Structure 1
Amino acid sequence: MRLRLTLAALFVLGGLAALFAVTSKYLSDYKFDDVANYQLSNVCLVQNSGIELAHAYSSIYKTDKLIWSLVQHDGGYLMGTGDSASLVFLKNGESKEVFSLPKHLFFTDIYISASGITVSAIPDAKIVVLDPAYTPVKTIEFDNTYIWKIVPSGKGYYALAGDPAMVYYIENDEIKFSVKLEFEDNIIYGKIVNDTLYFCGEKALYKLDGQKAVAMIAFDNAVTGFDYFDGYLYVTTSSKDLYMDYNILKMSQGKGQNPDPNTMSVLYRVHPNGAFQKVFEKSGIRFIAVSHLKNSLIIGTDERGGYFELNTDYTRVKYTSLGKGKFLKFLETKDGLLAILLLPSEIVKIEEGYAKEGTYTSDIFDAAVVSEWGTPIIEKELMPGTDIKFLFRSGAVEETEYWGEWKSLKDKIACGPARFIQYMVKLTSDGKYTPFMKEVNIPYVEWNLPPQFKSLTYKYSETFVNIKWEAADGNNDELIYDLYIAMGEKGWVKLNPSPLKNPSYDIEYKAFPDGLYRTKVIVSDERSNPASGGKTNLILGESFYVDSAAPVVSPIEVKPEGGMYVFTFHAADSLLPVFKARYSINGAEWINILPVDGILDSKTEKFAVKIAVPSPSFVQFAISDVIGNISSAGVYVK
């Protein structure tokens, strides 16, 4: 299944008016591009599929200052903010500054231990140890400009530094040793995995072997995020490095950046032994941070609060936009995932459940001429407690400020005749499930009758299924057809290399994988209307099965009973119910039999058939599925 944002024709509306299919921008089966340009609010785009509600999220805290660090503490949160370094305690919606270093820009990290609170400040890097009352008890000064990260380890912690790039190990508030990396400017991220420190500079991933830094992977672009999840290290890289881009403090938010098509971002999965692979990459958008929520990876970006969500085998990708802000960091908690956003500065909590409401606004579609709108063709799925509502608006010019108001969809689109049209989808839920919108096709009316479909049917035989459709044209134009099929949620596949003249097509079972298929036929009268390009129409057929495999019959057990024999076996089909079962003795007449439960209605059936059989004899059983695939198995009775 997929989301197509197109205009497509289906029904004739009114006496002389007709529908006309045009090409428009759409999100195709095979591309997931320009996601940052879509107008999303609490909804997510599902790659190759459609639209659903996003995770619920709530705002925890907003400020006009830069938020750079965040930890849970004493039933609330400690935040490191700037432009002047300030440590702020947040609890129950109230905030209070508890410590500050006015000569520093901000606190880059916060470490809570049993003995107190440790914070790192930049520039002119220093680490300050505070007691529980936030009183300084120890200050460690460094020759570095930056201390970016504090990584707890054993009885002490590592401090990851920049300008120059160094790793310090500190215990009892004293530096025990340090490691300098000559070819890096900054060490920004670090994780302890199996008692080993793994850390990232701007160019590579390293691990600490004793007091030596060992490079594991060199990256093409700057490292922007680091996480450990499900036994693997995950690293995001991008063409630009947010940490080093201090001009971000001066940037205006507006609607969001215009994505740079030359930007390339990559997610790497790295085994602690050094084996790695690229598992996800995108152009035109920057990956800024990576974390995880339950069984999914979360990748924050710099576009309108946008983030990607990937399942653990990377086969399902979603994109969600919070509508504003740029992700900086994540903090995993028991009740959700906290995120620090920039521009504006905000802390939000992303929860496991679904949002209660979300909207998607389509592109503006141009019908090229003034048109009357019909009844849209919509593919959607609703779960308990969910709903989807549609609103439409239209206008004579492309600028929407001169359009009419949004109008709810009841049956036919209620907008007046116009050249341009746009729709909005509102998804609602009780938070337990999400509705799902797969496809929207908008019919519209103009002069000249298009072809019309009357029916689409299937006829099964032993070797193929025949797809037959009936179409007519009000102008008696010559019609040609294109036939598409799709298996499951996969995209449409066109079967005919050249247009079909005959409204019928045979699909041989053995030529396609077994499965449940959908059908779409597009008809055109373009050969009778070469100047205008003709009119098109489409019909979506019901699902049909391709099944070339016969049921599997288990070994037959034979037991004598009261002068007769009981034959026991199972028959199972992977796709369709077992439809017919028979037996024959010595090649004589076939006799129908039923399974143990008395009805043939399942893909797996058990048989226990009691038969009077003369000795010796051959007894043969034949089992077929709904389509007619037959398997046979027999025994010899002495």
Structure 2
Amino acid sequence: MKKSLIAVTLILISLLIFSMETGKLNDIPSSVKSSLQLSSGIAAGKDFVIPGFKAQTILKNTDYPIYSMTEHNSRLLAGCGDAGRIIDISSGADIASFSEGEIVYSLLSVDKTTLFASIQPSGIIVRLTDKKIDTIFSFPDKSVNLLKKIGNTVYTAVGNELFAYKNGGFEKIVKVNDRNILYFEEIDGYIYISTEGAGKVIKYSIKENSQEVVFSLSSGEIQMFKKAGGRLIIAANMTLPMGDGTESFCGILLSVENSAIDTIAREDFPYSVSISAFDGILLGASVPGRCYYYDLKNYFYLGSLENDFIMSLYECEKCAYIGTAKSNSIIKLSGGDKPSDFLSSVIDAQKDVSITAFFPLTKKNGKFFVRTGDTYSIDSFWSGFMIVKPQMNESMSPSRYLQYRYSFNGSDDTLYNVSMFYKTKNHSPKFKSINIYPERIIPDYANTPEWEGEILYKRSFYPEIKDVNIYKSKRNIKFVIWNCFDIDQDKLDYDVYLISGENAFLAAKNISASYFVINLESFKEGYYKVKVTASDSSDNNDPLSAEIVSGEFYIDRTPCEFSDDIFEKNVLKFRVNDNSSLIDEVSYSVNGSIFKRVIPADGIYDSKSELFEIMIEREKNQSLSIVVKGTDSSGNSSIFSKVVK
């Protein structure tokens, strides 16, 4: 039974939304990952985007793929494959070349005069100076995987062994129990080593010549790692057995702390290379080339290089370089002074809609631009980008497709999501009700100093008024309130008229509040009505309107009258009468004293005719000059005087 009720409720809600012909579009900016290019300068997180890195191609379409890079004597050098060349990137000149089919797999600037290069597959390390090039290490049966300088010592990973350069040659430091050493780093006085095969991280003590496996994948390769606080961040490729007996690799980024292992990210393809950069980890993948970044908090996709392959990464002074192996280019990544704008995917509303409101959720409220069109492909018939304000309430021209652009407000800004409200057809406003309060009675939210309202404690006189506090004005006013709605959520403007017979007097124009206080002081006595018109012209080029007319009410300009007055036994008796309005207040003064308010003999002001009895203290034979002031509920007053001798 409960499920049936839920289903019926959902159907009714759906029918209501359809009949309203309004709706909401939601866009998660990170959905652009499938089309994001590295050149866009955007970093897409799991469910948000931030400014990324500026991508600049500094070397394009060389003859050979880029396998390694290093900065040497203020020059950026690249190690190439296929012909074993080392080139100066700025000039394009050859620094050195080796045999056909050789790869300059690793480059290291040792000092201002010396450059080391590892050459594959011959398994040699050469030393380059201004005077000569000579081979200083040869191990033809194993691969020279990495050259790196720690402190003042140069190390190299050859197969599963680590060597240190001493006294003009390389000496073996340690041999690990795995296939190949891929990366090593000094941490807290130890040398940490990562391997290929079982995929291990090994802590090696030079002083004690001891090894300790601190992490193992069991099967795979650990490309690199980075110590971040108490965590060890590991970039790796894990081996997965396939059903046909083959193996596949998936790229994973792990956080290891004590015995806890958390998966930060997992890709369905292997990482081709990864380095420490921008105070985090920069990762590359190939086929096609894709770039990722982990800032030690969030994992970001930086975009693709179309059909290019990322073969090498190199960090250098607040920037990083990407070496590719299809276009054979080098791309420089850096933090730009001005963040790139974020450009959304083309959003398909499935039908022609008019966007009425944008609600972008951002960190620092940058600028927001929108363009629309009738085709999915952006062409010359699309509108240009126009700036829109968040939470705007105006209609755009109907179209099926739209695209927005967000201009980040600084490099630390974030765009989380965008909600867009739309309508497909304009509808007329509709009035539900109109209410007019008794004359001079106003609620607290309408009581401005202009109306001189005093709080009214006699709430029981006005049970139909639901406001918490009501006031009685000293001026002749009428408070009118109405309820009007627009199914399209358009902004409504109201005109208020006071109608007497065939005459209509404009009391207010283009007000946005759904109430108004009408000053009646310039209107003569008689019967009147209030008419309110509503228009959605602020949000529509072809506006629609509606109106409502109140019931009739009477403006009383005739003051009350006094009758049946008599003074005996120090009591003044009299009656106050009014033809149209209730008696509202009576006060008296004796011999010029301050006026004092009195209440009717029956204890309540609830009639157009009220009897009053006032006890007046009087000394023997004292003459009295009594003045009585009576006021009706419309604010009309009259005075009655009586002299007692």
Sort the TM-score into its range (normalised by shorter chain): 0.5 to 0.7
Report what 1:265 is aligned to.
251
Report what 1:547 is aligned to.
none
Report what 2:171 is aligned to.
176
* Candidates 425, 428, 440, aligned match of 2:418: 440
Q: For residues 71 and 360 of structure 1, what CA distance do their matches in structure 2 show?
A: 34
TM-score, normalising length: structure 2: 0.53
Change beyond 3 A, Cα 1:358–1:340:
farther
Contact 1:56-1:354 at 8 Å conserved across structures? no
| 1:447 CA displacement | 6.1
| 1:109 CA displacement | 1.1
Question: How many correspondences in the alignment?
Answer: 404
Q: For residues 451 and 196 of structure 1, what CA distance do their matches in structure 2 show?
A: 75
Q: Does 1:393 align with 2:357?
A: no
Change beyond 3 A, Cα 1:79–1:327:
same
Q: Does 1:149 align with 2:146?
A: yes
* Candidates 382, 406, 411, aligned match of 1:405: 382
Aligned ranges 1:45-56 → 2 under 5 Å: 45-48=44-47, 50-56=48-54
Gaps of 5+ in 1: 1-8, 242-261, 455-469, 476-638
Report what 1:67 is aligned to.
66
After superposition, give the CA deviation of every residue in 1:547-583 in whole Å (9 maximum; x if it has no partner): xxxxxxxxxxxxxxxxxxxxxxxxxxxxxxxxxxxxx
Q: For residues 343 and 267 of structure 1, what CA distance do their matches in structure 2 show?
A: 26
Q: For residues 79 and 431 of structure 2, what CA distance do their matches in structure 1 show?
A: 65
Partner SS state of residue 95, structure 1:
coil
Partner SS state of residue 374, structure 2:
strand
After superposition, give the CA deviation of every residue in 1:480-515 in whole Å (9 maximum; x if it has no partner): xxxxxxxxxxxxxxxxxxxxxxxxxxxxxxxxxxxx
Contact 2:236-2:251 at 8 Å conserved across structures? yes
Contact 1:267-1:281 at 8 Å conserved across structures? yes
Gaps of 5+ in 2: 1-12, 241-247, 389-393, 433-482, 489-645
Contact 1:56-1:353 at 8 Å conserved across structures? yes
Contact 1:427-1:435 at 8 Å conserved across structures? no
One-letter code of the match for 2:302? T
Q: For residues 175 and 37 of structure 2, what CA distance do their matches in structure 1 show?
A: 46
Report what 1:545 is aligned to.
none
| 1:276 CA displacement | 6.0
After superposition, give the CA deviation of every residue in 1:181-234 in whole Å (9 maximum; x if it has no partner): 5642x3222223344332222222223345665433211663353143445543
Q: For residues 268 and 344 of structure 2, what CA distance do their matches in structure 1 show?
A: 21
Report what 1:113 is aligned to.
110
Partner SS state of residue 382, structure 2:
coil
Q: Does 1:378 align with 2:359?
A: yes
Q: Does 1:127 align with 2:125?
A: yes
Report what 2:321 is aligned to.
338
| 1:402 CA displacement | 8.4
| 1:102 CA displacement | 1.9
Report what 1:461 is aligned to.
none
Q: For residues 281 and 433 of structure 1, what CA distance do their matches in structure 2 show?
A: 24
Report what 2:264 is aligned to.
280
Change beyond 3 A, Cα 1:194–1:102:
same
Contact 2:118-2:126 at 8 Å conserved across structures? yes
* Candidates 207, 223, 226, aligned match of 2:224: 226
Contact 2:310-2:324 at 8 Å conserved across structures? yes
Q: Tell which has more relative contact order, 1 or 2 (C-alpha 8 A, sep 6+).
A: 1
Q: Does 1:158 align with 2:155?
A: yes
Change beyond 3 A, Cα 1:433–1:448:
closer
Q: For residues 196 and 174 of structure 1, what CA distance do their matches in structure 2 show?
A: 23
Report what 2:200 is aligned to.
204
* Candidates 98, 101, 110, aligned match of 2:98: 101
After superposition, give the CA deviation of every residue in 1:154-173 in whole Å (9 maximum; x if it has no partner): 775332123xx433344234
TM-score, normalising length: structure 1: 0.53
Change beyond 3 A, Cα 1:39–1:129:
closer
Report what 2:503 is aligned to.
none
Partner SS state of residue 77, structure 1:
strand
Q: For residues 86 and 276 of structure 1, what CA distance do their matches in structure 2 show?
A: 45
Report what 1:87 is aligned to.
86
Q: Does 1:347 align with 2:330?
A: yes
Change beyond 3 A, Cα 1:413–1:391:
farther
| 1:123 CA displacement | 0.5
Change beyond 3 A, Cα 1:403–1:453:
farther
